[in-house]
Amino acid sequence: MGILRLGYLHVRVTDMAEARKHYIETMGLKVTAEEAGKVYLKGWDEWDHHSVVLEEGGVGLAKLGFKVQSEDDLNTYENNARTFGATVERMSKGEELEVGQGIRVTTPSGHVVELYNEITYLGNEVGYLNPYPFPRHETGISVPALDHMLIMAEDVALNEKFFMDTFGMYAVEQIRPEIDSPARIATWLSAGQKNHDIAIVSGKDKGLHHFAFQLEDWSKILRAADIFAMDDVSIDITPTRHGITRGTTIYFFDPAGNRNETYAGGYRAYRDRPTTIWTPEHIGRGIFSHSRELNAAFTEVYT
């Protein structure tokens, strides 16, 4: 049945104590495991063992993982990756803590993507029998779950093709240099009904633009920005809307300078949805719907 969602990502942080404070106290993630130099975290509405793993030392993305539905999917994606000509290897059970066997693929952009179908189940914090809508005692902005991420690639069109051909994703929105151009400035790709599970923007290979956490709605976005001010979080873009995906957002940075996002709303996507196309003269409104100005930070600032 294919890719279920962006399951986890490992992000490097220069100072673990500050990173813990940010991701645990401000974002509201919970620690599920610790190893030397690594902290495993999950949101309150996630049932799998972890979604965000902090790795001490450096900045930027170490790797990411997509959870797939079955072992057959692993075989399919392994074959697809080989056919595409990508580097692919088998991952044995436990190589990723609490995760079963899987495959590890390197994208043309050099990003390491792991696929797996088994991970230790912990359950969410409200349970699944007659639950209340959220946990009674929340911490910080209390993000329920990881949502999506945006990576940088020197050849966006090639990497878009890779994610479509190898992982069966479809393009929901694109920025093209010209309406009919086969080239891509950016692309938003979905594996299911999210309007994007992963997006790719033109930049240096291996780069991490941001990873995003779900929030319920616009009022939670406002509250999050208030809490960021209290916690001296470096805010990149104050609450606004993206023209692309129509989601409401805040861009901000963790204490190591990795960009995070809180994301709410936006439309539901379907595989038969016509791809929305943006042209360069409207990129500003596409990215930031109100200011309608593409700031230098969007394309030049990342880890």
Partner 1 sequence: MSVLTVLPDNVSVRAKPGETILAVLSASGYGYRIGCRRGGCGICKVDLREGEVYYDHPVAESVLSQEEIAAGAVLSCRAVPVGDVTIELRDERLKLNSALLRSIRAVKAPTTKE
- Binding region for partner 1 (CB under 8 A): 12, 14-15, 18, 57-60, 234, 236, 253-259, 296-297, 300-303
CB of 170 to partner 1, least distance (A): 31
Q: Dihedrals φ, ψ of 84, to 5°? A: -70, -25
Instruction: From the candidates 49, 50, 111, 148, give the one annotated as an active-site residue.
Output: 148
Between CA 52 and CA 31 the distance in angstroms is: 10
Q: Which of 89, 193, 107, 197 is nearest to 152 (CA)?
A: 107
SS3 annotation, 12-65? EECCHHHHHHHHHHHCCCEEEEEECCEEEEECCCCCECCCEEEEECCCEEEEEE
22 classed as catalytic: no
Nearer to partner 1, 46 or 254 (CB): 254
Give yes or no: 35 in active site. Answer: no
In the structure encoding, which two tokens stand for residue 218, read together?
């616009």
282 is catalytic: no
- Which of the residues 23, 77, 116, 251 is marked catalytic? 251
How many Å apart are CA 150 and CA 146, to the nearest integer?
13
Q: Which is nearer to partner 1, 57 or 94 (CB)?
A: 57
Rg, C-alpha atoms of the chain: 18
CB of 236 to partner 1, least distance (A): 7
Minimum Å gap between C-beta 259 and partner 1 is 7
12 or 67: CB nearest partner 1: 12
Instruction: Give catalytic status of residue 210 as yes or no.
Output: yes
89 or 293: CB nearest partner 1: 293
Active site residues: 148, 196, 210, 242, 251, 261
